[in-house]
Amino acid sequence: MTEPSKKSLPEWRAAAVFDARLLRGRGDVRDREIRRLGQAIERWGFFELHNHGVDHQCRQDLFAAQRAFFALPDSQKRSLQRTAINARGYNSGELTKNRLDAKEIFDVGHKPDPLAADDALVNRVVDGWNQMPEDLAIREPIWRWFNLCEPLAIEVYDWLLQALGASDALAAHTDQHTSFLRLNAYSDAQQKEQSKNEKVESEDADSMVPLGIHRHTDAGLLTLLVEDGHHALQVLHAGQWRTIEPSPNAFIVNTGDMLQVLSNDRFIAPEHRVLGSVAGQYRLSAAYFFNPPYDQIIQAGGKEPLIYPVDFEGATEDDFNELANQIDQQFGRLDGLLLNAGILGQRTPLAKYRQDVWDKVFRVNVSSQHLLTKALMPILEASENASVIFTTSGVGRVGRPFWGAYAASKFAVEGLVQIWAAENEGLNSVRINCINPGATSTQMRATAFPAENPESIASPEDIMPAYLYLMGSASSGVNGQSIDAQIK
């Protein structure tokens, strides 16, 4: 539970404000700044960057273009609407953690061939292609800002890698990267639209207004943020939401989930949010999300992921054995296995339960998971500290009416885990446990409880600590246990 917001966070100014000229310098002064940068990111996850070399007039031109774009008639903006096959463009219904944000956005991404048309085949990449307005007075300042942010983000990433002492092989490059620029506009109109769709939850009640962007962490490596002078970014620090008030012409830089993983949790991806519009205030911001190409991980020496589709309903023992062989050939071992596949079946009395549905539920929820574990056990044993996690349920511990095959299958999972754990105890380093997720906002939960408000229960992200614990070394020695992800 968080405490009420505090207006600002002055403590970080002494520790997390940096001059790019020093970071670009040489000798001991630069080395000290790089070390200090690493310490700031370890503690705060964000910093303020001055003297970055991006001309202030370009920023003013960007905001003028933003203001002009969002003032266009709705029909023109909707002609550039994002679609199911194109993640770039305009959107007035952006969701963060499945909650409606009180803002409009416009996304622009990297073009492999800047000279070709936006929708040319060469510029249709994994997340789509750019949909730019025809007015050059709008499109040119936006595209200019994107191209100014790109080299700065690469430079900042390089500083952070140096602070980590990371390999040169991880140095960023721009070919085919998936970075994008998001333009945000916050207004009373968007605030009213949000209010029609949801109530302000108690977690945000101290803000007194709907949120422009709900609480989250950024998914990529790092983000470069500029605001138009109205400060609304809040960071969760020491249990309190604290407002960040950057100096004029500075960038706010924060690290994302990808960099936290890359640094092995040395750098943190800070949880943050943005306050909604207040009393007719109209605000703009622009966030450049730096996401390197997938191939960079491979070029840095990482193993290429193995994708092997399996239908648990129809897969045979031979299918699971072939999957195990492919993992063995590519990786030589397996450090963790999470068995989370499951189907609900019917919610009906046992006397009326269809046998074909019963068989299907047991095939997916029990038999296939046992066969997969059996096939993978030799390469799990090749790991120094492997963990297998099955998924159980509260209805698999105490019988409840009308849960039928699903409940029976979870009783079977509980027993299966105990047997596997007992048979492996002392023979190898593989530990086998199960987790009861509890009431969690998933499609299966919505099917079982259609009248339940999904925002009244935990999100999948909320219960991740239990899974990370069982997958990590901290749970070494824990074996044959059934753990609740949500402690009541």
pLDDT tens by residue, 38-81: 999 999 999 999 999 999 999 999 999 999 999 999 999 999 99
pLDDT at position 1 over 50: no
CB atoms within 10 A of CB 203: 14
- pLDDT by residue (tens digit) across 84-120? 678 899 998 887 765 778 899 999 998 888 899 999 9
Q: What is the pLDDT of residue 262?
A: 80
Distance of CA 298 to the CA centre of its chain: 21
Supply the mean pLDDT for the chain: 86
Q: 12-16, 40-44, 214-218, 366-370: which has the highest mean pLDDT? A: 366-370
Q: Which residue has the higher pLDDT, 293 or 287?
A: 287
Question: pTM (2 decimals)?
Answer: 0.63
- Out of 186, 406, 467, 469, the active site residue is 406
- As given in the structure block, the two tokens for residue 476 are 């070494």
Rounded to whole angstroms, how far apart are CA atoms 441 and 461?
10
The fraction of the chain above a pLDDT of 70, given in percent, is 87
Q: How confident is the model at residue 206 (pLDDT cuts 50, 70, 90)?
A: very low
Task: Residue 410: name the closest of 338, 319, 341, 479 by CA.
Answer: 341
Q: Is 406 a catalytic residue?
A: yes
Q: Which amino acid is at 139?
A: R
H helix or E strand, kind and range, residue 273: strand 272-275
- Mean pLDDT, residues 371-394 taken together: 95
Q: What is the pLDDT of residue 201?
A: 42
Rounded to whole angstroms, how far apart are CA atoms 457 and 454?
6
- Mean pLDDT, residues 265-280 taken together: 86
pLDDT at position 348 over 70: yes
Q: How confident is the model at residue 160 (pLDDT cuts 50, 70, 90)?
A: very high
Helix (H, G, I), strand (E, B) or coil at 103: coil
